[in-house]
Structure 1
Amino acid sequence: MAIDWKGVFPAVTTKFGEDDQLDFPLFEKNLQFQLDAGVNGIILGGTLGESSVLSLEEKGTLVKFAVEKVAGKVPVILNIAEGATRDAIELARLAEEWGAKGLMMLPPMRYKSDHRETVEYFRATAKSTSLPIMIYNNPVDYKIEVTLEMFAELADLENIQAVKESTRDLTNVTRMRNLFGDRFKILCGVDTIAMEQLLMGADGWVAGLVCAFPAETVAIYKLTKTGRLAEALEIYRWFMPLLELDIHPKLVQYIKLAEERAGVGSEAVRAPRLTLIGEERERLISLIDGAIAKRPVLPEYHSIVV
């Protein structure tokens, strides 16, 4: 399956049971919830997927399970967040073997690579696989920026096709377009500026709160891209207090709590993360439940073609 890098791509959470094992029934329930809303792909093992605490075996099981349940409706994409280039290459090989149709890639973990090292990390991995790749550019959280100059050096690699734009600099969408035209597809990577990035020409949205509110996320995307801005803005303004959960250090706990309150997930996280307690949890529940109580009535968006 070739990937059309546009639309809404949920960075799904990993579901755990009380025994800290993978909760496949709940994972399947959320996958179906996303598909029913009309998402365009599924991303596994990202920040929200708690990649750093998943074993290699668990990643493989998750990919194969998702591929089976999605049944070709949308591509399944695996995130690569490795410290060693050889480990990134091996995970890319395994992802293809497991049935993933694409990769999302962060720069090297734990070591702050320089320009040359960052480019070579992406280049070596891309050359090792036939899978299409979306580079995850998030210098705020991961401390390495994939600069415009780096993208220029990677442009000859045909399978590096897209960027998850998470620099939080809106002008970067325009800079990418000015320099590269449509060579790289651009997907919003920060929920709180997603509509703005779409208006500036981004092709899609790698979303977080979509995990709990997929219909609203897809509706905003489609309405914005087809010029129905007043309708999109009404939903976006309602959504903003929830979208701000995506830019907090505890985004995993916050978004999982939102999934639980929406009836499509649980609060369970894997240590060292801990579930929320006390005033913090009560404050979040009040915010989430208050938003759910005022959930907007969505226009019929499934038939909108972008």
Structure 2
Amino acid sequence: MAIVHWTGVYPALLTPFTENDQLDIPLFLKNLEAQVEAGVDGIILGGSLGEASSLANEEKAELLRHAREFLHGRIPIVVNIAEQTTRAAVRLAQEAADGGADGLMLLPPMRYKSDDRETLEYFKAVATATALPVMIYNNPVDYKIMVTLDMFETLSALPTIQAVKESTRDVSNVTRMINRFGDRFKVLCGVDTLALESLCLGADGWVAGLVDAFPRETVAIYRLVKAGRVAEAVSIYRWFLPVLELDIHPKLVQYIKLAASRTGLGSEVVRPPRLVPDGAEKQQILAIIDQALATRPVLPE
């Protein structure tokens, strides 16, 4: 097993499908190889960008098995837990642990809008079901449940809960977490368009989306910021921003898959009810991606 340090770049990997709606494992491994070559620090399987809501548990287990066989412990594998019931979430966490996952990313309960007490009990149940380290996914914009600082105070008593994917869209929340908890929780930015700002404010890592299409540029921004070479990071980030904005659209899956298909690291195929964009919508997104490709920067050492 690989140790999860919760620092660096963690791609939220796409789940590629064939035209007949099966997992496209060769394409999955091609993208994974590009991530490793670019120097990412871990991967996340079956997240929102990985079309978690449409994956069967057997498919999640298959992705984990192939990732493990390919990586051989070189970087940690984090499995996303996004379930409707506590029992289902606990079972999936235990299956992930048995399958060789190195960590878990944990969303609040799906569909039901739990209150603070219910959310905390749900988190506690999953976090104590295995010995795996856990990153809480705090995304009230998309999932309607805010994990507050007071809730993190309660969660701090659980040693397996070690990090937060900070997706509140309020970049100052990075500072609030550090002011309140010091280094008790690692903070990873979960919104591509706020990544540089969050890293400059002290975030430990970046759970990235457009890394699926542009792994080297994503890793370069992270490493430059952490090396104090902020001006160089800003230059790449300004080039990248129009593409990064695809990450905050409701169709982020479709759009980022289009980007990955354009860079040769994925295909545009999505699982219904999602559909591949067409017409003017598709042309508009491809124009953004193609402009980035035409002006792709030379990366510094």
Is 1:257–2:258 an aligned residue pair? Answer: yes
For 2:99, the equivalent position in structure 1 comes to 98
Amino acid at match of 1:20: D
For 2:289, the equivalent position in structure 1 comes to 288
Instruction: Please list the CA deviations of residues 86-111 of structure 1 after superposition, one character each: whole Å capped at 9, or x if unmatched.
Output: 11100000001111100000000000
SS class of match (2:78): strand
Partners of 2:99 and 2:295 lie apart in 1 by 41
Partners of 1:209 and 1:127 lie apart in 2 by 32
Partners of 1:149 and 1:118 lie apart in 2 by 12
Is 1:74–2:80 an aligned residue pair? Answer: no
Q: What is the 5 A alignment of 1:1-306?
A: 1-300=2-301
Instruction: Give the length in aligned residue pairs.
Output: 300
Amino acid at match of 1:163: V
- How many angstroms does 1:286 deviate by? 1.1
SS class of match (1:241): helix
Partners of 1:155 and 1:291 lie apart in 2 by 42
Structure 2 segments unaligned to the other structure (5+ residues): none
Partners of 1:2 and 1:32 lie apart in 2 by 19
Partners of 1:67 and 1:184 lie apart in 2 by 26
Instruction: Please list the CA deviations of residues 30-72 of structure 1 after superposition, one character each: whole Å capped at 9, or x if unmatched.
Output: 0000000000001000011000000011011011111111111
Instruction: Please list the CA deviations of residues 250-291 of structure 1 after superposition, one character each: whole Å capped at 9, or x if unmatched.
Output: 000000000000111000000000001000001111110111
Partners of 1:59 and 1:142 lie apart in 2 by 21
Partners of 2:60 and 2:213 lie apart in 1 by 22
Instruction: Please list the CA deviations of residues 224-269 of structure 1 after superposition, one character each: whole Å capped at 9, or x if unmatched.
Output: 1111011100000000000000000000000000000011100000
Amino acid at match of 1:5: W
Partners of 1:296 and 1:187 lie apart in 2 by 25
Partners of 1:53 and 1:182 lie apart in 2 by 35
SS class of match (2:164): strand
Partners of 2:298 and 2:181 lie apart in 1 by 39
SS class of match (1:234): helix
Amino acid at match of 1:26: L
Partners of 2:266 and 2:112 lie apart in 1 by 34
SS class of match (2:109): coil
- How many angstroms does 1:2 deviate by? 2.1
Partners of 1:206 and 1:287 lie apart in 2 by 22
For 1:303, the equivalent position in structure 2 comes to none
Partners of 1:170 and 1:33 lie apart in 2 by 29
RMSD across aligned positions (CA): 0.5
Amino acid at match of 1:261: R
Partners of 2:69 and 2:147 lie apart in 1 by 33
Partners of 2:57 and 2:286 lie apart in 1 by 33
SS class of match (1:87): helix
The runs of at least 4 aligned residues of structure 1 exceeding 2 Å deviation read none
SS class of match (2:283): helix
Partners of 1:246 and 1:215 lie apart in 2 by 17
Amino acid at match of 2:21: D
Partners of 1:6 and 1:286 lie apart in 2 by 33
Between the two proteins, what is the percent identity of the paired residues?
65
